[in-house]
Amino acid sequence: MTLYVDADACPAIRMIEITAAAFHVPVVLLCDEHHVLTSDTSRIVTVASGRDAVDLALVNRCSRGDLVITQDYGVAALALGKGVYALNPSGKQYTDENISGLLMDRHLAGKARRSGKHHLRGPARRTEEDDRRLRESLERLLREKTSMEEEADR
């Protein structure tokens, strides 16, 4: 298993790296050439800038059983379609059961923005609760995945 992070705007990279290291899971941080990332523990993949370039690179690299952290519902949907686990940076797990509703909400919000008649608020500020939820969700998934892999090796 590899943990792929849509790192362009991920607010919790260091915490993700620390948590993954505790489970001996490699981390790949993907960003475009306009972001400068450094890491002592993760592999950094920098792709050319362009619309959805990082998203496409991430989806092309991940495979069944991997884990993706992204705030992009479209990336999460594509990852789920490949049998990949997906988390939001605030700890919410994307699933086959909730992704359609999230995509519909995104579509309707975009439609409202384009109409110019509605002023929608942006995302709330990141809180310590968001960090706690992400760490707990990530630990739970990594614990489940590593125990499943150990059973398969027996």
- pLDDT tens track, the chain, 154 positions: 999 999 988 999 999 999 999 999 999 999 999 988 999 999 999 999 888 899 999 999 999 999 999 999 999 999 999 999 999 999 999 999 888 767 777 656 666 667 776 666 666 788 999 999 999 999 999 999 877 777 777 7
- At residue 8, the pLDDT reads 87
Query: Cβ distance 87 to 144 under 8 Å?
Result: no
User: Which backbone phi and psi does 49 adopt, to 5 degrees?
Assistant: -75, 155
Both tokens of 27, joined, read 């981390």
* Count of helices and strands (H, E) across the chain: 5, 6
Q: For residue 132, give the amino acid letter.
A: R
State in words which class domain 3-153 has: alpha beta
Query: Cβ distance 41 to 17 under 8 Å?
Result: yes
- At residue 124, the pLDDT reads 76
Query: Cβ distance 31 to 54 under 8 Å?
Result: yes
Show me where the domains of the chain are located: 3-153
Both tokens of 60, joined, read 């092309």
